[in-house]
Amino acid sequence: KAGVTQTPRYLIKTRGQQVTLSCSPISGHRSVSWYQQTPGQGLQFLFEYFSETQRNKGNFPGRFSGRQFSNSRSEMNVSTLELGDSALYLCASSYLGGTNSPLHFGNGTRLTVT
């Protein structure tokens, strides 16, 4: 089974721009979560989608948004980029989400905002 695929692996953007990151979950997995990893804050939960519906959202500003398609693939969007948005963005999938389904992470998209 192929793992979680995130594209692109690296991205450089300028302050004020917007960016879209993509995630393809493991086949059969219907839950997709997004996490931001920074040296100072560690891994922080952004949001979780299941069957195209956002079930849970972390404490991030509205500039961070996401969506999930009918094939379970997911995208996250960050608008009006700030320097502090530079981070590793990790996508994770699981069969149903919740505590009975451990997350399987992709290798992440490294976003640098200049």
Partner 1 sequence: DQQVKQNSPSLSVQEGRISILNCDYTNSMFDYFLWYKKYPAEGPTFLISISSIKDKNEDGRFTVFLNKSAKHLSLHIVPSQPGDSAVYFCAASPNSGYALNFGKGTSLLVTP
- Give contact residues for partner 1 (rule: CB under 8 A): 4, 31, 33, 35, 41-45, 48, 50, 55-56, 58, 90, 92, 97-99, 102-108
Q: Pairing relation of β-strands 64-68 and 31-38?
A: unpaired
How many Cβ atoms from other residues are within 10 Å of residue 98's Cβ? Answer: 12
8 vs 98, beta carbon nearer partner 1: 98
Q: How far is the CB of 16 from partner 1 (least distance, A)?
A: 29
Q: How far is the CB of 15 from partner 1 (least distance, A)?
A: 26
Place of tokens 């959202």: 57
75 vs 105, beta carbon nearer partner 1: 105
Cα 76 to Cα 15, 67, 99: the distances in Å are 17, 6, 23
Q: How far is the CB of 12 from partner 1 (least distance, A)?
A: 17
